Structure formats: C-alpha cells, structure tokens
With several copies, the nearest count.
Chain A
C-alpha cells in the first residue's frame, strides 16, 4: 500500500508543496512534463529554463538543472545552452505573456532558425504573476485588470494563435502542438514527442498547454474547469499542428 505521494521522479521533493496557487494549471503542466521526462529517462541531461511569470515559481521545482531567467528571455538562454552544449536536452518554460508578447521575437526567430530546443508555454489567458492583466491570449470579452470592461477585440484584437504562428514559420523538422491540462495523458504525449523531436535532432518543438489560473480568473473549481474546457477551446484548438514523425500517413492525436 502506497503512503508516499506519487510524484514524478524528477520532481524535487523538498520544494513540495510547490509555490503555485491552489488549482493552478502550472502544477499540472509540470506534472505531465515530469512524467514525460521520467518516461524518456532524460532527467540527467535535461536543462530547464523558467521564465518570469508564475513559471518562475518553478525555479526549484525539479531535480533537473534549472535556470530561472528574465521575462520573455528563456528562449534565448536555453538556445545559448543548447548551442554551446548540444548534448543537453533543453526546455524553455514560459507563460503566454512571456512567449507571445515580450519574448515573441525570440520565439519566432528560434523557430525560424529551427533551434533544437523544446518550448513549453502555459496559456492561462492572462498575465498571472503580475495580478491578472490582459495577455495576448485573453479571450474576447474577458475581464482582466487592464481590460476591466472586457477585452474589446476592436481595440485589442483577437487572442493570439501561438502554435499556428509558430507552425507558419517553421519547416519540416519542427514539432508543434497545443494540449490542455484537461487531458494530461495527451499533453504528456505531446511533450514526449516534442522532446523526442529535439533528441532526434529534427528541430524546434513547441507545445502550448491550455492552463488554469483560478486566482486571477476568480473561479472556483467548477468554473475553472468550465472556463478551460468550454471557453478557451472555442478559441484555441487542441491537437497536433506539425509533426515530423507523422509524415508517413500517421496522423496526430
């Protein structure tokens, strides 16, 4: 009979409970990621970069070599690591603000250069760490601290389609997918393929994970799931967008 928590092996036990809020999707994304890393057996070779955003709270989340970087700059830091030591397996972890706003030049250019790194982006439709401002991914009509009357698409545009954008500037070698913490098994599968794509030297891999932020959404558990599963998926289509391994007729999940 098990009386120890069933955490992924690469989670750092001493830093648990982790620093994320109750019900935070970051915990789920990193659980799926931890399992993916365990299953691929790459804990020792992995280098994990954490962006500023709530992702920074993961600076000591894993028993994995980790560097917490600046807001939006995790992609270049991790690119720098990989270029200098191609034996590492490099993961850049960031939020929608870090990835699609302040760090978008790094994201699109790393993608275009086909850097052999894996970028994982937790999309929670807002700037969570700073207290819930509008993000590029905020849904139309959604109220945030800087869209107090709801996001007006005429003023602020529609939610950024990150994976679609990344797909548009990458070529064959890239792996691009969007998962959700609502389907952790699938998400873990995407992570494994993304990491495998890096390990195979194919190229850039990118997974956006639809994630939850009950604190800034001001939702209870029920509404948290509902927002994730009903609202967000109206704008963000879950699935694989680009998969080099699926070339021969094999199709994504």
Chain B
C-alpha cells in the first residue's frame, strides 16, 4: 500500500538524510541521541502542528542513529558508499 508523505531531503558528504514531515511529531528523541549534536528544530510543522527537525549536514555522519530511535519512522538516512 503506498501512501505519500511530504519529505524534506538533505544531502551531505556522508549521505542523504530525509525527514517525513507528516510523520514527525517533534518529540525530540532523535535530537538527544545524535552523537554529533547536529539536529535542531526546523520551522516546518509536523504531524501535530509541532516543529519538525532538521540536520546540519556539515556534521552529519549518516550514522543512522536518529533514524533508529525515531518512534515514528519519520527519518530516512542513506549512507553514501
């Protein structure tokens, strides 16, 4: 079954990083777990009208931790090979 989500993609040296705004509830769990501290609040609003997040792609290592800890599967991370 395919459902379209509004995606906000970011590209960085180490990989690509995407937040699906209609999935992100702005809980901030990812932000706390990012080893690089490179996530911050975005001005885009998410599922509950709350702010979503965005990465600083300069620092992002595409490690995928943020993706792993997101309870809503709102982040996709693809590491460059």
Contacts and interface: CB of A to CB of B under 8 A. Distances in A.
A and B, direct touch (CB closer than 8 Å): yes
Interface of A: 1-7, 11-14, 16-18, 20-28, 31, 184, 212, 214, 220-222, 224-225
Nearest to B9: A3
Contacts of A26: 71
Q: With a 10 A CB-CB cut-off, give which of A4, A6, A24, A224 has the most chain B CB atoms.
A: A6
Contact of A22 (B1, B22, B25): B25
A221 to B, nearest CB: 3
A5 B74 contact: yes
A220 to B, nearest CB: 7
Report whether over half of chain B's contact residues are helix, strand or loop; otherwise say mixed.
loop
25 contacts: A1-B9, A2-B16, A2-B18, A2-B78, A4-B2, A4-B76, A5-B23, A5-B74, A6-B76, A7-B73, A13-B1, A14-B3, A16-B3, A16-B23, A17-B74, A18-B72, A20-B71, A21-B27, A22-B25, A24-B71, A28-B69, A31-B71, A221-B28, A222-B32, A224-B32
Contact of B71 (A12, A23, A222): A23
Contact of A224 (B22, B29, B78): B29
Given A2-B78, A23-B27, A221-B28, A16 B71 contact: no
Contact of B16 (A1, A7, A12, A214): A1
A71 B60 CA distance: 44
Nearest to A220: B28
Closest 5 CB pairs of A and B: A27-B71, A23-B27, A221-B28, A22-B27, A22-B25
Nearest to B50: A22
A127 to B, nearest CB: 20
Nearest to A8: B73
Contact of A221 (B3, B18, B22, B29): B29
Given A5-B74, A6-B67, A17-B23, 11 more contacts: A2-B16, A2-B78, A3-B9, A4-B5, A5-B5, A5-B20, A16-B3, A16-B23, A21-B25, A221-B32, A225-B29
Nearest to B67: A6
